[in-house]
Structure 1
C-alpha cells in the first residue's frame, strides 16, 4: 500500500467515525458538526483517489470552521446543553488525537512528495485537518473551562491561532 492508498483509507475511516458520532448525537447540535466533518473527510478521500488515478481535481477551501460556529447560533445556553449530552469529552479527545495523527502524516507525505501536484494536495490536507483539530480543541476547551467562555455563536473569546 502506497502513501496515497493509506491516506484514502485513513480519510474513509475518519468519515465512518464521524458518521457514527453523528448518529450518537442525533438529538443535539453536534450531529450537524459531525456530519460536516464526515462530508469533509469524504471529499478528502475523493481528492486523494483522483490524485492516485492522476485525474484532475480542485482544491476547494471550505468554510468548515465558520459552518460549525454557525451551528451553535441561537442555541441559547450552550453550556447547559452539554449537560444533556452523555460524557462526550472522550469522543472529542479521540477525534482530536485522530486529527493530530492526520496532520502529522500529511506533513510527512508533504515532505516526501516529489511532484508539485502531490505537494499541493498534501499541503492543502494539512490545513484542512488543522481546521478539524481546532474544532475539537475548541469543544474540549468549552467543556473543561466553561467559566472562561462567553455564551455566543462563535464559542466566545478564543486564543488566536
Structure 2
C-alpha cells in the first residue's frame, strides 16, 4: 500500500499546483474563453485533489483502494462545453495576446504532465479498483490536454494571421 500512498500523495501535490496555476492565471489572460477555461479548471483540479485525498485517507485506514464507485459524481463541467460557449463571443473579444499563448502552452504542458503521470501510475498499480480510479483521472486529464493543445494551436495561428504572417 506504500506505493499507492506515494502515487496518491504525488498526484495530490500535482493537482494543488494545477489549481493554483489556473486560479492565478485566470485573471491574467486577455482571451475570455481562456479565462473561463482557467476558472473552470481551477475548480476541477480542486475536485481531483478531493478525490485523491478521500482515496488516500481510505487506504491509510483500510489498507485497500475504495474504488470510489461514485467517481463520476465528482466530474466538473465539461471543458468542451466551456469552449462551445465561445461561439457567442465576438471575434474582437477573442483576440489572443502573445502572453496568452505562453500561458496556454504552460497549461497544455501541465495537463500533459498530469495525463502522463496517471498513465504511468496505472501501469504501476495492480489493484483493479485503483487502476479504474486512475484510468478515470487519466481520461479527464487527457481531455484537458487535448483542449489546451487545440486552444494553443488556434491562438498561435490567429496570432500569425493578425501579424500578417503564416508559416504555411
Task: Please list every run of 5 or more consecutive structure 1 residues that lacks an aligned counterpart in the other structure.
Answer: 148-161
What are the superposed Cα offsets for residues 131-152 of structure 1, whole Å, 9 maximum, x if unpaired? 11112111111122239xxxxx
Which structure shows the bigger proportion of residues in helix conformation?
A: 2
Q: Distance in 1 between matches of 2:149 and 2:22?
A: 16
Task: Specify the structure having the higher radius of gyration (Cα).
Answer: 2
- For residue 11 of structure 2, the aligned residue among 7, 16, 20 is 7
Q: TM-score, normalised by structure 1?
A: 0.79
Divergent runs of 4+, >3 A: 25-29
What are the superposed Cα offsets for residues 54-99 of structure 1, whole Å, 9 maximum, x if unpaired? 2646221444233222331310216x6325x452111111111111
Query: After superposition, where does 1:63-74 map in structure 2 within 5 Å?
Result: 63-74=77-88
Q: CA RMSD in A?
A: 2.3
Q: Distance in 1 between matches of 2:123 and 2:115?
A: 12
Question: Is residue 104–residue 151 contact of structure 2 (8 Å, CA) maintained in 1?
Answer: yes
Query: After superposition, where does 1:21-36 map in structure 2 within 5 Å?
Result: 21-25=25-29, 28-36=32-40
Q: Distance in 2 between matches of 1:62 and 1:81?
A: 24
